[in-house]
Structure 1
Amino acid sequence: MLQQLPAFSLQTLGSGKFTSEFEAYIADQFMERDFWIGLKSDADQGLGKKESNGVYLGKDGYLIQKFTPPEKGDLEDKVKAVQAFDQATPGLRKYMMLVPTAASILEDKLPPYASGGGERVYWDKIKDSPLGDIRWIDVSPVLEANKEQPVYYKTDHHWTTKGAFLAYRELGAPMGFTPKHEADFNIRQVTSQFYGSLYSKSGFRHLQPDSIELYDPKTPGNISVDYVDEQQRADSMYVMENLTKKDKYTVFFNGNHGLIRITTGNPDGRRLLIVKDSYANSLIPFLTTHFSEIDVIDLRYYEGDVLKLTEDRQIRDLLILYNITTFFEDPSIKSIADSVE
Structure 2
Amino acid sequence: MKIIDRVLIAVFCLFIFGFGIAFAVSPKSTFSVNEKRSLAEMPAATLDGIFNGQFESGFETYINDHFPARESFAALDAYYALFTGRNGSNGIYKGKDGYLFAEPPGHDEKIISDNIEALRSFANNTKIMSTLMIIPSGGYIMSEKLPANHLEYRDGETLAEIRSRVESDIRWVDVEAKFLNAKESGQIYYKTDHHYTTYGAYLAYEAFCGEHGLTPFKDYTIERYDGFYGTSYSTSALWNEPAESFEVWRYPSNASVEINGTAYPSLWFDEHLEEPDKYPVFLNGNQPFERIINPDVEGGKILVLKDSYAHAMIPFLAQHYHQIDMVDLRYYFEPVSELVRENQYGEIFMIYGLSSVCDDTDIAILE
Fold shared by both chains (TM-score > 0.5): yes
Q: Is the 8 A contact 1:50 1:58 kept in 2?
A: no
Partner Cα separation in structure 2 for residue 131 and residue 106 of structure 1? 26
SS in 2 for 1:104: helix
SS in 2 for 1:121: helix
Q: Are residues 208 and 138 of structure 1, via their aligned partners in 2, closer, same or farther at CA, if it must alter by over 3 Å?
A: same
Compute the displacement of 1:245 (Å): 2.2
Post-superposition Cα deviations, 1:146-182, rounded to whole Å, max 9, x if no partner, equal: 213211000001100000001101111322321112x
Aligned with residue 234 of structure 2, among 200, 204, 220? 200
- Amino acid aligned to 1:314: Q
Q: Are residues 75 and 291 of structure 1, via their aligned partners in 2, closer, same or farther at CA, if it must alter by over 3 Å?
A: same
- Amino acid aligned to 1:88: N
Residue of structure 1 in register with 2:5 after alignment: none
SS in 2 for 1:128: helix
**Gap regions ≥5 residues in structure 1:** 6-22
Partner Cα separation in structure 2 for residue 166 and residue 111 of structure 1? 26
Residue of structure 2 in register with 1:46 after alignment: 83
Partner Cα separation in structure 1 for residue 315 and residue 271 of structure 2? 18
- Amino acid aligned to 2:245: S
SS in 2 for 1:73: helix
- Amino acid aligned to 2:154: G
Aligned with residue 60 of structure 1, among 84, 92, 97? 97
Aligned with residue 98 of structure 1, among 131, 134, 146? 134
Post-superposition Cα deviations, 1:68-121, rounded to whole Å, max 9, x if no partner, equal: 42334221111211121122022x111000010111101111111225432322
Residue of structure 2 in register with 1:134 after alignment: 170
Residue of structure 1 in register with 2:19 after alignment: none
Aligned with residue 198 of structure 2, among 161, 182, 192? 161
1:279 aligns with 2:309: yes
- Amino acid aligned to 2:157: V
Partner Cα separation in structure 2 for residue 30 and residue 327 of structure 1? 32
Aligned with residue 210 of structure 1, among 225, 244, 247? 244
Q: Is the 8 A contact 1:243 1:251 kept in 2?
A: yes
Q: Are residues 130 and 239 of structure 1, via their aligned partners in 2, closer, same or farther at CA, if it must alter by over 3 Å?
A: closer
1:186 aligns with 2:221: yes
**Gap regions ≥5 residues in structure 2:** 1-34, 40-57
Counterpart mapping for 1:59-98 below 5 A: 59-90=96-127, 92-98=128-134
1:120 aligns with 2:120: no
Range with bigger deviation, 206-215 or 113-122: 113-122
Range with bigger deviation, 150-159 or 238-247: 238-247
Compute the displacement of 1:231 (Å): 2.3
Percent identity reads 33
Partner Cα separation in structure 1 for residue 306 and residue 177 of structure 2? 21
Q: Is the 8 A contact 2:105 2:354 kept in 1?
A: no
SS in 2 for 1:331: coil
SS in 1 for 2:366: helix
Residue of structure 2 in register with 1:145 after alignment: 181
Q: Is the 8 A contact 2:88 2:150 kept in 1?
A: no
Q: Is the 8 A contact 2:131 2:350 kept in 1?
A: yes
Partner Cα separation in structure 2 for residue 259 and residue 130 of structure 1? 25
The count of residues paired between Structure 1 and Structure 2 equals: 309
Residue of structure 2 in register with 1:259 after alignment: 289
SS in 1 for 2:199: helix
Root-mean-square deviation over aligned CA pairs: 2.2
Partner Cα separation in structure 1 for residue 118 and residue 71 of structure 2? 38
Post-superposition Cα deviations, 1:43-82, rounded to whole Å, max 9, x if no partner, equal: 2233244224111111111001111423342211112111
Residue of structure 1 in register with 2:9 after alignment: none
- Amino acid aligned to 1:30: D
Q: Are residues 113 and 48 of structure 1, via their aligned partners in 2, closer, same or farther at CA, if it must alter by over 3 Å?
A: closer
Residue of structure 2 in register with 1:13 after alignment: none
Residue of structure 2 in register with 1:18 after alignment: none
Q: Is the 8 A contact 1:87 1:132 kept in 2?
A: no
Partner Cα separation in structure 1 for residue 229 and residue 86 of structure 2? 21
Partner Cα separation in structure 1 for residue 282 and residue 89 of structure 2? 28
Partner Cα separation in structure 2 for residue 244 and residue 158 of structure 1? 19
Q: Are residues 266 and 93 of structure 1, via their aligned partners in 2, closer, same or farther at CA, if it must alter by over 3 Å?
A: farther
Q: Is the 8 A contact 2:111 2:359 kept in 1?
A: no
Partner Cα separation in structure 2 for residue 31 and residue 175 of structure 1? 52
Compute the displacement of 1:224 (Å): 1.1
Compute the displacement of 1:201 (Å): 0.4
1:173 aligns with 2:190: no
SS in 1 for 2:362: helix
- Amino acid aligned to 2:236: S
Partner Cα separation in structure 2 for residue 4 and residue 315 of structure 1? 38
1:320 aligns with 2:350: yes
Q: Is the 8 A contact 2:229 2:276 kept in 1?
A: yes
- Amino acid aligned to 2:345: I
SS in 1 for 2:339: helix
Residue of structure 2 in register with 1:250 after alignment: 280
SS in 2 for 1:117: coil
Counterpart mapping for 1:229-240 below 5 A: 230-240=260-270
